[in-house]
Amino acid sequence: MTVEEVLVRKRWMRLALPDDVQQCVALARLMAHTPHGQAVALDYLLRQLRHEVWDRYPSGAPSRPGGLRPSKIERALGYRLDPDRKAKARSLVTPERRSAIARMGQAAR
């Protein structure tokens, strides 16, 4: 799937909201590096635009595709391997709160 294929499928939106669709295309190109990722990002952004601007009835917001979410594994490994990030994260939580969190974790086991 490419950006052009997504624009063909969402032709009605491109005709109704041309400026907004062009902004979504630019954002999709920034969000992903591969053509498939850009198409997925554009599809998500257009669904979100339809939800916010076009739908006249209450509907749920579209869920963000898994490929666009930040990786939990990378985030966890980066936290463990980067001492500066770990120190910064630890400084945001008081020692009393950290011990309370540890007690809650022990109680859950």
Alpha-carbon distance 32 to 6, whole Å? Answer: 15
Tens digits of residue pLDDT in 11-25: 998 999 999 999 999
Per-residue pLDDT, averaged over 83-87, amounts to 79
Tens digits of residue pLDDT in 25-84: 999 998 888 899 899 999 999 999 999 888 888 888 888 887 777 666 666 665 566 778
Predicted confidence at residue 34, as pLDDT, reads: 87
Res. 94: pLDDT tops 80: yes
Res. 102: pLDDT tops 70: yes
pTM: 0.61
Alpha-carbon distance 5 to 37, whole Å? Answer: 13
57: Cα within 13 Å, side-chain hemisphere: 0
Alpha-carbon distance 63 to 34, whole Å? Answer: 21
